[in-house]
Amino acid sequence: MARMTRHITIKRPIEDVFAVLTDVEKTGTWFPGNVEEHWTSSPPHGVGSTRRAVVTILGRRSVNDAVTTVYEPPHRAAMQGTTPNAPFMATLEFRREGDGTRVDVTEDFTMRGAGRILGPFVAAGFGLAWGRGLAKLKRLMESGAL
């Protein structure tokens, strides 16, 4: 297993930050790259809700599905990949910090077979993307654009 962790503090109320980061339909506005996500289950969304992501990287299109496994507003949420090309468990933890909200992101990748060799590289790549995405989210949320 390979692990990626990132964190950031956003000067917005915890409820606002939780709402944005747990709404997959907003991911494309802040996460880098060409990512389109949408819910595949009906509202209200929480544990058991499903989503589909379409990601285009280097001209290659990939589709993956995931299910929400933890949903504890406004403190914790987690999602697990359910398709073979999505061997991840992403956990988001939120806590009040000063006049803002600290977000801790952990993503575990369970690669199989020879793919295990790539695990650390996959985690590093996602770590870079999460870092850029969280920085953009901070700018958008603190400016009021999101």
| CATH code: domain of residue 9 | 3.30.530.20
Looking at residue 145, what DSSP letter applies?
Answer: -
User: pLDDT at residue 87 above 80?
Assistant: yes
User: pLDDT at residue 80 above 80?
Assistant: yes
According to the model, what pLDDT value does residue 61 have? 87
pTM: 0.91
Q: Mind listing the pLDDT tens digit for each residue in 19-54?
A: 999 999 999 999 988 889 999 999 999 999 999 999
Contact 100, 12 (CB under 8 A): yes
Contact 81, 95 (CB under 8 A): no
d(CA 17, CA 104): 12
Overall number of domains in the chain: 1
Mean pLDDT over 127-133 rounds to 89
Looking at residue 45, what DSSP letter applies?
Answer: P
Quote the Cα angle for 126-99-44, to 5°. 60
End-to-end CA distance of the chain: 34
Domain hosting 15: range is: 2-143
Return the higher-pLDDT residue of 51 and 60. Answer: 51
Mean pLDDT over 75-101 rounds to 94
d(CA 12, CA 42): 28
Pairing of strands 88-97, 100-109: antiparallel
Output the average pLDDT for the chain.
92
